Each structure stands twice: as structure tokens, then as C-alpha cells.
Structure 1
Amino acid sequence: MHDIRAIRENPQAFDAALARRGVSALSSQLLTLDEARRAKILAAETAQADQNKAAKAIGAAKAKGDEAEFERLRAEVADKKSEVAAMQAEAKDLDIQLTEMLAGIPNLPYDDIPDGEDEADNIELHRWGTPKTFAFKPKEHYELAGVIPGMDFETAAKLSGARFVVLKGAVARIHRALAQFMLNTHVDENGLTEMNTPVLVREEAMYGTGQLPKFGEDSYLMREGLWLIPTSEVTLTNTVAGEILDEAALPRRMTSHTLCFRSEAGSAGKDTSGMLRQHQFEKVEMVSITKPDESDAEQQRMLRCAEGILEKLGIPYRTIVLCTGDMGFGARRTFDIEAWLPGQDTYREISSVSTCGDFQARRMNARFRPEAGGKPEFVHTLNGSGLAVGRCLIAVLENGQQEDGSVTLPEALAPYLGGKLTLTVAGELV
């Protein structure tokens, strides 16, 4: 959510920043609504003052026995009361219109974000690791002999339809091991607090992190107005909704492993093979709540946390900064980490690490109280995948594949797999 006061102070800068995201100038419409809203509020307050003045005079007229003046003032108060109620209703309606308009406007990019229209204009920052040279043509994850027994798309389709998968046996265990490895690393080494949060949330929580109202079609609405989370960014970030935190309590760093649900609206025909793009998937999420002057450094710290997971697993990756046309709705800056998938002979996204500034905090009314005193200020919120578990499974399987269809697994997973680091052609761990 944007601050209307900041738009009043510099409408040209607001429109210029929106233009970088491909959005037409909106300050004029916003300020027209804002001016009408404030004028109506002022008129209602003036009428309220007149009503109060007349109400006081009623008592004086009654005391003097001036019945005619008493009746005139009583009628005036009644008229003013109706007038005030109408003005307040109009002001409220204008306020709702302004809020709804502000809620549909994306966040403004930081000045250091490259301009661009889509992913083709993203800029690579660095790479880690060297993609393995295979003596054979590498296969995609779902084609590997050792994986086929443990990745059942037909049964999943019978149960739930397209874009679901049933993991079985050794493959399911590797998937679970990856999630445990990520969580333990973030808690034991990166200092994050593990959280176990619901996957069903109220509409207010989805609104707070920007999934609603604009992107409702991308998520699943259940009975009783509850939504399935697209990521635990929603639950972790909303733990501070409506709160005023002490400055000493910041930063607050959290991580959670949850099921995630996305309708994948608009992605028809994309990545339909294998488990790269699913309606239900698992992710280990990271969320940080910080002071404004610490959020840039916190984003870099979170990026390193996510990159470190891939480095421990020995998965080559590249890190890019998203251009203005490819960033998410609520982000001011986003770094994507893309893991090397030899089966596709390309890098594919496995993590996005975003800073939202105070954009989400305004929607949630999440603030902190400065130790030096003064009014509470909005916190900054950040989120990042640490990592997408299913996509990490794909990367591990494809990078460790052998010519016979077996898979050599990363040493980092040994404690979680009983020391068994080979997925055999028969789909067993040894």
C-alpha cells in the first residue's frame, strides 16, 4: 500500500516510478479522490461543530422559556445531524474508493533496479559452480530409471487432476530429507526461528501481503472465506499484523516448511511435464521483519542463506536481479536464484528473495517503536524461498544422474538418509 501523503508531496516522482513498471500515471486520479475525501471530512467536521453549538443553545433557550427559539434550534440540530451523517457516509465512500485504488497499485522499484519489460531484461549478477559435463545426453528428472518408480503422476491425476504428483519410497524420502536439511541449516547456522503455521488463512492475511484483491485467481478460496496459502510468506509476515514492536525486537527472522497451493492461472501449457510447476508443492520459506535502515543488508543476508543451501548440495546456480517488468506486485527489489538443470540444459528459478519496503507493513499496519522515542514507524518486510523443495529435488536428481539412470546424492544429505547416497536403477536407496 502506498502512502497518499508521499504522493501528495511528489506526484511526479510517483508517476515516474510507476512508468518504470509499465503503469500509466495515476497521481492525478488519486489526488482528486484524496482532495474530495478531505473536503468532505472537513465539511462534516464543520457541520458537526455547528450541530454541537446549536445543541448547547437549546438548553439556554429552554431555561429562558423561549419556546419558539427552542423549537427552531431543535429542528436545526436535527437537520445538522442528518447533514453530518450524509457527509460522513460520503467521506467514508470516498475513503473506500481511494483505499481500493491504492491497494491495486504495485510497489515502486528501487532506483538501482534495471528497467525492462520481461525476464529477457533481467541482469545476471554472478554464478557459482560449473555445470557437469556428462558423457551421455542427460535426462529430465521424470525420465530417470531410478526416479520413475517413485514419481507417480497417473495416480495423482486420478486423485486430483493435472499438475499433482504422488512421491513414493526413496524419492519421497529424498524430498523429505531436503526439507529437513534446509530447515536445520536455517535454524542452526543462519539463526532463523522455526515456525509451524496454518495453510488456511483469512482474507485479511492474503490482503496484508498483497495476494488480494488483485491476484485472487492465483490462489484457492475454500469454505468459510478461508484461503489456501500460496507460500508461508503470508502467515509468517502476518504474525506482526496490527502490532507495534519494540525496536530491540528487530530484526525478526523466521522460517517455515509448509505445503503451498497455487492455481497457476495463466500458465496453461507451461512446464506440464514432470513436477516443475505444480498446484500443490512444498517450500521452506524465510521472512524477515526489520527496521527501514537495515532492510537492504537483510536482503543480502537472506540471499546468501538461500545460495548457501545450493552450495552445500553442490548444485550450480546463477543469481540475477529482476528488471522492473518482471518483479512481483509487492516487491521493490527481487533477486532470483536459478539452479542448473542439465535435463533442460538451462537454469531455472529455485528461489526469489524480495524486499517490500513498508508496502506490506502499511497494508497490515505493522510498526515498531523507536528506542529514541517518537511516533511508531512502519517496519520493512522481506521474504525469500529457502528453497522450493520440489525444484531442489529436481536439481539434485538431474545433477546427480548417472548413465544407467541411477542417481548419486549430495553428501550433505547423508545424515538425513541414514548414510545412503545412491538411488539405484530400481529406485532404492543404498
Structure 2
Amino acid sequence: MLGRRALASLVLGLAALPAPTEVLAAVTGASLEAVGPGARLTLTLPANARWKLVAARSPNRLLLETPGQPWRAATRLRGAGPVRAARVERGRLRLDLSGPVALRRAAASGNRLVIEVVPGASGPFARLAGGGGVMAEGGGTAAATRRAASLPLVVLDPGHGGRDPGALGVRGTQEKRVVLATALQLKRVLEAGGRCRVALTRGNDRFVALGARVNFARQRQAALFISLHADSAPGARGASVYTLGDSSDSLAGALARRENQADRAGGLRLPSVSPEVQAILASLIQAETRIGSARMAEQVVAELREDVPLLPNTHRQAGFVVLKAPDVPAVLVELGFLSDAQDEAALRRADHRARLARAMGRAIHGWLAQSGNVVAAFG
């Protein structure tokens, strides 16, 4: 047993020892690999750690910041895909790019953060880099909430509803019910992916005017508008996709005339400039919208082809009212034709509608990535 004098000496000796160094949370692992034409960055860091991915130009690069998390992983990573090389610089990871990129995924789950980028268009990347540059961020409930609120909005438009049943199948199937069921399934697919927000022009059996559907998307500054239908046309079978334009054939023209009841889309919101400049701006916006719509149609056709029968000449053009928003890229997807017994039987099955939803979900995610929209997920 220690005496009083010895115990006092021990206490004084312990007090003289330096204070223990605080153990900080840190980034403890990092890897970079090619995934198709893109690149995947995987980090190991504490759960709920804050992080932010920033885009910058001259030269094109990404900067990954991890505030409060010192770097304890490899400080240099070999390039992959559009990332030429990556190195730690002033406490953050710098990814030098071979060209502009778009964010395909940013998902944090537990102590693992996965970021995927793919080659992107120069225009969206330049606008993002010039507008603050934040491509994605996360960590903590508040940050995740802010991030989710800034995700691009996709509006799904199940056709018809209420007093308007739409087309009737040979077995009495109502178009309004089939397209609503598919839209709700697609909403679940997109929300599970966490890369966009989703809104429906109608979530139940009610009538919504065509102009109101268009205005719904425009007032919310939607990134994309998807209208879902299952029409009737003798001899036609298979899914198809429509973008705005002069009717590409008699079938497209007939479908558009049947769907269109009124054209009440409003005008563009343009700055207070001369009429000549406003005309130029309107023309540029509408041209960009049509390009975005055509790109979406290509994505939908490519994905549907993997899962369901398609109508010949699958991407068609017609003057559907719901496609006429001048500032929101839009497509109308015919899921099939209720006038065809095989299409109707398929559309009545939940598993077939689920396949359609998954295919369209892949198309939407691909379009968002190509367009440079912020697409992030929090696991």
C-alpha cells in the first residue's frame, strides 16, 4: 500500500504528463476505378461525416472537401475514365479531368461514400462551375435535407383521370387506371434511387386539364416532364415515345388530335430586354428544350427495348399539348395499346408495369447524368 508521500508524488507525476492527443475522425481509405466510360471514387470515412464535391474550370477539375476529417488515406490516386489523376492538395482531394463531367451518383452509407462521374456536356458543367460549383454534398441530417431539396424535379403525368377514362381495352381496361398504376410504380423506383425529386400531376383518379398539367411542371421549374399513356389504335402494338413536332405519320397525328383538348401553355418568363433580344432568348430556350426532349426519347427507347415489345419507328413526333412547354424537356410514353389484346393483357399485370417502370427509371437517371443535373443519393 502506498504511503501518503508516495501517493502525492505519483499524482504530481501524472499531472505533469502531456495531455493525450485528441483522436480525430479521418478519411482512412480511398480508391478510384473505371466504370464503363465513367469513374467511381470510393472513400472510407466516419458515418455522417460532412463532405462536399465542387466543380471548377481552367482547368476542368473536381474538389472533394471533407471538413474536420484529416486525410489518412493514399494521397495520390491513379486516373480512371474522365479523371486523369487525383491527389490531396491543401487538405482536399483534387480530381483533374480530361473534360467536363456529370455526376451520376453520390451515395453515402455508413462509413462509405461512393461518387461516380461520367463524361458530360460542356455547357452544364460550365454553368455549374460558374454558379458556385457545388455538385453534391452531404453529412448530417440537416445537410442531407438541404441536398434533397436541391435535387432536380421530375414530373410524372398519368394521362386522363376522373370523368375522362381514356382508351378502353378489348377487355374493358381503362387507360386512366393503367397509367396511374405505372406512374406510382415509377415514382417508387425514382425515389428509391435518390437522384431526383418526383411529383405527379395527379396521384389519384381525378380529372386534370391538359394546360394545368403543363403549368404544373413549369411553375415548379421541373427538369423533366414524362407523360404516360396507353392509347387505342387498330393494328398497333408495343411501346413508343413521342416528342414535340409535326406529326411524323398518320398514327402520330391521330393520337395527338385525340389527346389534345386545349392548348393553354403560357409564355416564357424572360428578362426585361428589347423584343428582339426576347425573341432570340425564346428561340434558344426552345431549341435547348427540344434537344433535351430528343435525348430523353433516345434514352427511353434504348431502355424499353431491353424489356418490352416496341412499336416500329419507336421515337415519333406529334403536337401533343402536354409536350408544348417551351422550357421543360418533355416526352410522352405510350406504354402499349389497349386496343391490342396482348398489350392489354400485359398492362393489366403488375410485373409488366414494374418492368416498364424500371426501364423508364434507368432512362431518367441516364438523362439526368448526361444533362449535368445534380443527382445525389443518401443511404
Settle same-fold status: TM greater than 0.5: no
Bin for the TM-score computed over the shorter chain? under 0.3
User: By percentage of residues, which structure has more strand?
Assistant: 2
In the superposition, the TM-score normalised over structure 1's length comes to: 0.23
Name the structure with the higher helix share.
1
